Amino acid sequence: MKYKISICYPDKSKIEHRQLIDKETALSFITNYPWRNQIKLMNSLPVEKVQYSPSVRISNVKNRHYLELTYHCENREESLFSLWYGRAKEVKLFFGFLGKIKKNNVYDKWDLNKDDAIYHFEKFLEEDYINLEKLMIAS
């Protein structure tokens, strides 16, 4: 399966897009991304100069599912991330009598440590979307 990466930097208004990588490269990128350096950069900027929170989105090119990881804060004990899982879902209109449409669904989960966030990415890259969705809606 092929994936593309979109990266949001705190100091840049333009989102960086990288094309077509495999799942091993995607997982390595997420795992080794310099999250702490990016949050330090964000914290060093005046508030009005911050463009984005440090974020990386991995998108499945074939089915357009994506999982985005955002580094949103660092406390004394650990770094905290939020995850955003997006996919199109077929929805029946008026019990199916009016047909079906594709609706974009986005699930978010907050305050994950890095290991838990990486685990979610592993499920995403394995295309285990059923279990990923269960993980995303579990408290």
**Can you tell me the distance from the alpha carbon of 95 to that of 62, in angstroms, rounded to the nearest whole number?**
29
With the CA atoms of 4, 31, 78 and 83 taken in that order, what torsion angle do they form, in degrees rounded to the nearest 10?
30
- Residue 57: what are its φ and ψ, rounded to 5°? -115, 130
The percent of residues above 70 in pLDDT, for the chain, comes to 86
Taking residues 115-136, report their average pLDDT.
94
DSSP state of 56: E
Residue-level pLDDT at 134 = 92
**Can you tell me the distance from the alpha carbon of 82 to that of 111, in angstroms, rounded to the nearest whole number?**
6
Taking residues 48-71, report their average pLDDT.
94
pTM of the model: 0.85
Residue-level pLDDT at 104 = 76
Q: pLDDT per residue over 27-36, tens digit each?
A: 999 999 999 8
Strands (E), the chain: 3-8, 16-21, 55-60, 66-74, 79-92, 100-112
Provide the mean pLDDT of the chain.
88
